[in-house]
Structure 1
Amino acid sequence: MTTKTSELLAVAAPRTVAVVRGISDDQLDLPTPCPDYSVRDLLGHLFDVVVNFQVLARRGEVDWSAKTDHLTDGWRDRFAAEADRLVEAWSDPATLEGVSPGLGLPQETVGDMALIDLTVHGWDLARATGQPVAVDPEVLAAGHGFMDRMGDTGRQMGAFGAPVPTLPEATDLDRLLGRTGRDPAWNR
């Protein structure tokens, strides 16, 4: 079975996995568009995202404050495997029903949170390490829909920065990045 959430994650995940696989060890200390996050820090956070959102799909509770060093031997392959498990975790239609006991949000919104994290942090890492990244139009549309519903709440909770204005001719990706508080023109 699949859900719209798992289908979108299945499109986004391989692109982010490709970026993660393209990060060399000598790039781990580079800055990223996320203030106060190096590539290493952001990879750790993104690992937490792909692992913790599997638990959230099952309506479990997670401890976001637990800091695990994910960047040990074989971390690129482990990230790819966890990203596949994330897609699988959201493939059962029952995962989208009801409210998340851990977050108090509709499960469908929680799934969208996983998608936006995977997509935007994939861009962050690509930009920080000089890699190209393309985002599927359906993923972008879902990201904009999520920001329409949850952008203000996300900013109040510190998940997103203040919106960064973009030019009228900006791409959908640049507009989404600006909505999440990122400067689409960021360079290290």
Structure 2
Amino acid sequence: MTDDLLERAVAYLLSVLPNLGPDLSAPTPCRDWNMRMLLAHMDESIAALREGLAGGQVRLTPGAPLPSYAGPLHIRSRAVALLDDWANEHPRSVVVFGRPVPAPVLGTVGALELTIHAWDLAATDPTTPPIPDRLASELLTVAPELVPMQDRWPLFAPPIDPPTPTPSDQLLAYLGRTRLS
């Protein structure tokens, strides 16, 4: 695993955001979630990561709803701020569910979360770029630890057969993802 995993995940997210359409009520591959709900979830995820890096603890409480004016530009600014936090001095470990977690593990979890949801946001567009091979390959090596086969529902669907052997499709298939028709 490389130290720049979170940075590459944010770079992928930033490459997807400018291509999103204006209809935030559009469906996503996340069951029963539209784009606005997914953006709100990403906002909460980024807030949790930033909280952990700033204060050494993630409280895991829901954040405020995504403001009605917020959209891809809001997520972009939050993701860039996360990169700034990651680049600066931060705790070596973060308390999550009352247990210390090494900061690099928090970064890996964040990388998986942001990468997969970036793909979810763009999955309705057939021209969506795949997750970059190196990023997908590295996330695929840790996905079974972060998203084990037991206890994955309702957060993740069961694995499916990947449509191609690319790292991107393999990672998405492991997480039960498929493009919307």
Normalised to the residue count of structure 2, the TM-score between the two structures is 0.82
- Equivalent residue for 2:105, pick from 104, 109, 117: 109
Structure with the larger helix share: 1
Query: Is 1:180 matched up with 2:180?
Result: no
Report sequence identity in percent. Answer: 19
Runs of 5+ unmatched residues, structure 2:
none
Contact conserved, 1:166 with 1:178, CA < 8 A, in 2? yes
Amino acid at match of 1:118: L
3-state DSSP of counterpart to 1:178: helix
Query: Which one has the bigger strand percentage?
Result: 2
Q: Aligned with 1:101: secondary structure?
A: strand
Q: Is 2:26 the counterpart of 1:38?
A: no
* Partners of 2:44 and 2:63 within 8 A in 1: no
Matched residue of 2:129: which SS?
coil
CA contact (8 A) 2:28 2:35 kept: yes
Q: Gaps (5+ residues) in structure 1?
A: none
CA contact (8 A) 1:12 1:136 kept: no
Q: Secondary structure at the match of 2:123?
A: helix
In structure 2, relative to structure 1, the CA distance for the partners of 1:80 and 1:39 (3 Å cut) is: same
Please report the TM-score for the alignment, with normalisation by the length of structure 1.
0.79
Q: Deviations over 1:101-148 (max 9, x none)?
A: 124343322211110111111111111245522322331122112213
Q: How many residue pairs were aligned?
A: 178
Relative distance call for 1:131 and 1:37 in structure 2 (3 A) is: farther
RMSD: 2.6
Residue 90 of structure 1 aligns to a residue whose secondary structure is helix
Q: CA deviation at 1:12?
A: 2.5
How far residue 93 of structure 1 moved from its aligned partner, in angstroms, is 6.6
Letter of the structure 2 residue corresponding to residue 174 of structure 1: D
Are residues 154 and 87 of structure 1, via their aligned partners in 2, closer, same or farther at CA, if it must alter by over 3 Å?
A: farther
- Structure 2: how far apart are the matches of 1:166 and 1:76? 29
Which residue in 1 is equivalent to 2:8? 11
